Amino acid sequence: MSLSNSQSYSSDKVLTPPVSTAPVWKIELLYDSECPLCMREVNFLQKRDAGRGLVKFVDIADDDYNPEAHGGVDFETAMGRIHAVLPNGTVVQNVEVFRRVYEILGMGWVYAITQLPIIGAIADFLYGVWAKWRLAITGRPKLEDIVAQRQERLACNTEGRCRID
């Protein structure tokens, strides 16, 4: 087979597969890295994920946290109780987050019982109590104070409105 002058063969061309826009992760977990108990859970889940990227871990305490990029869940709302975002943009919260994350990581049996209506309602109630008191239990300021401190810090970083005490 011969190639004409208009057809040339180049061995340096590399064919690349089309880039997929679909996320690899199955759930995006919003967590508070300043909560020691939350971090124990996140560290455990990261080990179970074992680098597979099934769970995308998003630190809401990071100054660069952008609610629009994460289901529209603002910092204050995310601090009030656990949230996660599914690849289609659906936001889930409370015990449903744990059910889904554990299922994705192959440990669905841990939270399976919470799918029963009465058990699920009790689990959601107990999680609500935990969410209400987690800052106090972990020795942190009230949510209003944390939000105010964050707003002040972000304003200082973006607008240069810093007070020096």
Position 159 scores a pLDDT of 64
Position 40 scores a pLDDT of 97
Position 114 scores a pLDDT of 96
Q: What is the pLDDT along the chain (165 residues), one digit of tens a residue?
A: 444 454 444 455 555 556 656 679 999 999 999 999 999 999 999 999 999 999 999 999 999 999 999 999 999 999 999 999 999 999 999 999 999 999 999 999 999 999 999 999 999 999 999 999 999 999 999 999 999 999 998 888 776 656 555
Distances (CA, A) of 142 to 1, 3, 49, 129, 162: 78, 75, 32, 15, 22
Position 86 scores a pLDDT of 98
Position 156 scores a pLDDT of 86
60 vs 70: CA distance, rounded Å = 10
pTM of the model: 0.81
Neighbours of 101 (CB within 10 A): 25
119 vs 117: CA distance, rounded Å = 6
Give the residue from 134, 68, 56, 62 showing the smallest Cα distance to 100: 56
Position 158 scores a pLDDT of 72
- Strand, helix or coil at 37? helix
Give the start-to-end residue ranges of the domains of the chain.
Answer: 27-159
DSSP count for the chain of H helices, then E strands:
5, 4
